[in-house]
Each structure stands twice: as structure tokens, then as C-alpha cells.
Structure 1
Amino acid sequence: MRKQNLWIEKGEQFFANGLSLYVNRVSERFELPEHAHDFIEICYVWAGSGFHYIEDQTIRVTQGDLFFLPVGVSHIFRPSSPNPKEPLIIGNCIFDETIFRFLTLILPLEYGLYRFREISSESDRWLQMRERSGEFGHLFESLLKEFESKRTGYETMMCGLLLQLLIGMERAMNPEIETQGDPAARRMDRIYPYVREHLHEKLSLTDVAQHVGVGERQLQRILAEHAGLSFTALLNKERIDRSCQLLADPSSSFFTIADIAAKVGIYDLKRFYKQFKLATGQTPARYRQEHEVTNDFRREMGNSPSPASL
């Protein structure tokens, strides 16, 4: 009975130009109603913490959690706190069943996504998983960048990125296969969450090594092998990624750039500007301004019916 009176979001509100694939990043609010969709949705917890209400379950969520929601599954995210300084930021990738069937069923069987073949034949089967080393976040960043820039061939690029995301989810559903006999890979599962939770601190290689339970040289080798980065490069990347999220988030508009720099652990504002421009090609102020213009344009054009999570 509950679903009969449920608000149903339609894909036609979001899909445009013949592409049934849409990506956004939003801050959750308390006043938004529970809802279902006539499309498939993958939700990624980009930052913050809160709760995900799915059907009759309540799940605590933090950065790195990911959900696969088939057509018709009811849900809503809620932040842990009403304080706008503690937002719950969610990434949404929505697409219709035609794209999903193509990527999971039409591709040759020997190259297919076997678990998703089973899932696609079932209704109301939602999934929860968690990234090991930032892999879902990196793919969502790329999906959002392609969707917003709309460069030549972005439609094909987005389908390719979605396929990578589905493969990553397939692997996450079989973590024992991915990490069996590989203690270094298991340690990566502890590195990223710890670094992200302590970005605002003066985090050192020694701190992370002690948390993971390895020597500093061994930690450097693990990072080089599994992340392709030194500790300093990984820390800088995580700090700039997090600052981008805050600058692009409308609910963080009351933070000054100095506030955001401090939140990601860079207390020298000149150094922050230099690192941010080196990584993004823009100043923090310009990056924020461009996202403000994009958000205003979407509201005016009705491209996103509300700033809510889908």
C-alpha cells in the first residue's frame, strides 16, 4: 500500500538529447520526501555521514558507500545533522533499463557482468557495497565531469565509465577474490578512509603507517603499487578533491576559501591556491563561480526538478 501513494520520479525529467543517462552531486535535506523511480540509480556517498532509508530498512552511511537501486525501489537519504556545516553529499548516476541491458546482457557472454545478469532478471533487489581505495569516487568524478562539460563524444565516454563502474561493483561483491592472498590490497581498504577522516589534521606518513600497522617504507611501496602515488601525492590529491566538493556544493557557500583550505588541512592560503590551480587549472574562486553559474542555469532551465537526491 505504501508504494501506491509514493512519489515516483520519471526519467523524462532528467534525460535529454536522446541520452538516457544523467549524473549529479547534491546535498541532502530533511524536507525531501521518500520516493521511487522509473529508472535505475546508483548512489554514491561523496562526503559526510547520515542515513539511507531503503524500503523498510535504515542504513548508516559514510563516505565511500555505494548503492544500486533497481526500478521501483523506494528510498531517501537524510544527513546526520541539520547543521549545514555538516552536509551529506550524494552522487547520483541514473540510467534507463535499455542502457543497463546493453551493458550487462548484450555484450558477449564471455566478457559480461555475471552477477548483474542475475540481478537484472530480478525486481526490487537493491545492493549495498563500499569502495576499497577510492575507485567509486574517481569514477563518479569522471562521470560528472563528462556530463557537465559535454565535450565531443561524451555520451560514449559516459557509457564506458558506467561500464567501469558496474565492473567495479561486480568486484566489490566478491572482495575475497580480489584481495585473497594480497595483504597489501587489504591494507588499502584502511588507508583511504583514515586519510579522508583526518584531512583537516597535519597528517603524516608515520600516522598512517601506524594506523595500518606497517613500516613507512612498506606503506610507500603499497601506495606506489596500488594507487600509483607517493604518500604526499595521494594526500594532496585527496585534499584538493575534497576542496572541489566543498566549493561546488551550494550548501557550503557560506564557507570562505580560507575556511575550505583549513577544512582540508592546508593552512597556508597561498600554498592552497597554488596547489589547487596546479591540479584543476583554475583558482578556487573561479572554480566556485563556475559551479554557481551551472547550478543557477539548471534551476532556471528546469534541468533538475529539485536539488534533491534522485
Structure 2
Amino acid sequence: MTSTKHERGYENMRKQNPMIEKGEQFFSNGLSLYVNRVSERFDLPEHEHDFIEICYVWAGSGFHYIEDRTIRVTQGDLFFLPVGVSHIFRPSSHNPKEPLIIGNCIFDETIFRFLTSTLPVEYGLYRFRQISAETGNWIQMRERSGEFGHLFESLLKEFENKKTGYETMLCGLLLQLLIGMERAMSPEAETGDPVAERLEIVYRHIREHLHDKLTLSAIAQQIGIGERQLQRNLSERTGLSFTALLHKERIDRSCRLLADPALASLTVADIASRVGIYDLKRFHRQFKLTTGMTPARYRETWTRLTP
């Protein structure tokens, strides 16, 4: 892999002995599981953990430095990091209006062993059982249709709200996440699914150009198929039309931006324009129809939940 100036600059600053983060800094009330969403910064040091971490790129783009690797990341990338793996995320830009937002789900090895060994072997999480027996064997993958993002959204809400039984719900959602990751690594996923690969390109293009005017015809032309075929693929795999999918992605992104305390200085109009909706009345109407509340109310609710 050819290093960019950005990457080489960081390589020159990397420490020989990264700091160690301990689970006791995060775990409380007897629950060895913690979930958060953060906007990455340049002043955080490279580190390793005495716990397991699953990281999800919620929004933005940047770099993930893992051991001796430098990986370009964008929304939808996901990483499984065992105990002792040294890493750090860095945003692409110092501009606070271009954040790299990461979701983290951390848990100790006791929970991991429980979730990956409770089911009979024939149901099991084979690769994760193998990983648990190895050191430094981290994994990278990408979601195909927002599946990891939805689970992280649910994990964060459960963790923040702490309703009755939330501990059990968190373990159930983490198990769903591990199974989804197992499926992403399965032989049938590795052999390649042309439609899934095509739709992954569509998702990536939409997410990277939400602020632009996007049309089905332009995207179909870009990937070299007809509009009807692309719409059929979308309908069969997602149950959504292109317009509905675009609407969903824009509202999902706006929810994430509104919930991020690092972006509290942005107005609702700023966020609407970032997701490609330039008519503020239309944005309010679509947002409320989808979430049941106004953008301001949504931000206020998440502000109260953020420690």
C-alpha cells in the first residue's frame, strides 16, 4: 500500500509503547460492556486494551492505524479488535465540520466466551471461537446494507436509556452483531454475490454524496446497468424504492449528526444541507414523519442522554 503524506506524517509520530486502556475505566454496575459514539481527534494517543472492542465507522472518513497497518475508512467499515491490539483512528481533516464519528462496543473476555460458547457447536460462531484462542487476530469488514449501523444504533440507545432488562438486551444485541459479522465472513459471502456487490457500491456512493443531487438514472449509468434492473435489485434486497432508500439514508445521517455533541454548534439548517435537503420545511416534515419528533426535539433528547 502506498503511503500518503497524511499517513507518513502520522507514522513519524507513532509511539513504540502505546498506552493501555483498561476496562475498569468504562465498566460499571457489574456490567462489563460499554457502548459509546465519539468524534475522533488528533490529540488522542495510540493505545491498546485489556478488553475486546468492536468499532464501527458511523460517519465521515479518515484512517485507522492498527499495529503496522494504515487503513483508509469510510462510513460502514467495521473492525473487531481482540485484547492487546494497538490502534487509533484519525479523521481525514482538522476541520470540525468534517468529523470522523466512530461507534465503540467494548466488553470483557468473559462476556465474549459466554456468547460464543453457549450455543451448540452446530449453531456456533466458529470463526469467533477461533479468534478468541488467538492473539492479535483482528478483523475488518464492511456492511452491505446498513445492518451494522442499525445494531450499533440499538446498542447505544439501550446503553444510554438503561431501561429494565437492558443488560440482557445489550447481550442479545451483541450476539446479533457477532452473528452478522460471522455471516459476513462465511464462505457464501466470500464467493461473491454480484447483486450484493452492486448494491454495496450504490450504498457507498449514496453515503459519500448525500449532500449532492442523486438520481437513480445517474447511479445506474455509473455502475453500468439499466435503471429498471437496479430498481428491481433494490426492491428485492431492501424492500425499498431508490427514493425511499435515499430518504432513509438522509434521515439516518441527520439523526447521527444531531446526536453528536461535537456538532452541537451546527444549526438544523446546516445539518439538513449536509444530508442534501435544502428546503428546511421539507426537512422538518420528513424528519418528523420518520422519527416522530422534530429535529430540535431529537437533538434535545440525545443531549440529555449524553453524559
User: Is TM-score (shorter-chain normalized) higher than 0.5?
Assistant: yes
- Counterparts of 2:40 and 2:130 in 1: how far apart (Å)? 31
Partner of residue 185 from structure 1, selected from 180, 193, 196: 196
How far does residue 38 in structure 1 lie from its aligned partner after superposition? 1.2
CA shift digits 1:77-123 (9 cap, x unpaired): 11111110110100001011111111112321110011111111001
Q: How many residues are treated as equivalent by the alignment?
A: 294
SS of 1:240's partner is helix
Please say if 1:6 is aligned against 2:18. Answer: yes
Would you say the 8 A contact 1:179–1:186 is kept in 2?
A: no
SS of 1:191's partner is helix
Mapping of residues 132-143 of structure 1, within 5 Å:
132-143=144-155
AA aligned to 1:257 is V
Please say if 1:62 is aligned against 2:74. Answer: yes
Please say if 1:225 is aligned against 2:217. Answer: no
Partner of residue 241 from structure 1, selected from 231, 236, 252: 252
Partner of residue 184 from structure 2, selected from 172, 177, 182: 172
- Counterparts of 1:221 and 1:153 in 2: how far apart (Å)? 41
AA aligned to 1:41 is E
How far does residue 3 in structure 1 lie from its aligned partner after superposition? 9.1
With the length of structure 1 as denominator, give the TM-score of the two structures.
0.89
How far does residue 17 in structure 1 lie from its aligned partner after superposition? 2.5
CA shift digits 1:240-299 (9 cap, x unpaired): 11111111112222221111101111111111111111211221111112222333xx2x
Q: List, as ranges, runs of 4+ consecutive aligned residues in structure 1 with deviation greater than 3 Å.
A: 2-6, 179-182
Corresponding residue for residue 302 of structure 2: 291
How far does residue 28 in structure 1 lie from its aligned partner after superposition? 0.4
How far does residue 225 in structure 1 lie from its aligned partner after superposition? 1.6
Gaps of 5+ in 2: 1-13
How far does residue 162 in structure 1 lie from its aligned partner after superposition? 1.1
- Counterparts of 2:223 and 2:174 in 1: how far apart (Å)? 32
- Counterparts of 1:106 and 1:182 in 2: how far apart (Å)? 31
Corresponding residue for residue 63 of structure 2: 51
- Counterparts of 2:165 and 2:228 in 1: how far apart (Å)? 42
Corresponding residue for residue 206 of structure 2: 195
- Counterparts of 1:51 and 1:4 in 2: how far apart (Å)? 19
Corresponding residue for residue 31 of structure 1: 43
User: Percent sequence identity over matched residues?
Assistant: 77
AA aligned to 1:178 is A
Partner of residue 289 from structure 2, selected from 252, 257, 278: 278
- Counterparts of 1:42 and 1:214 in 2: how far apart (Å)? 35
Partner of residue 121 from structure 1, selected from 133, 136, 152: 133
Gaps of 5+ in 1: 299-310
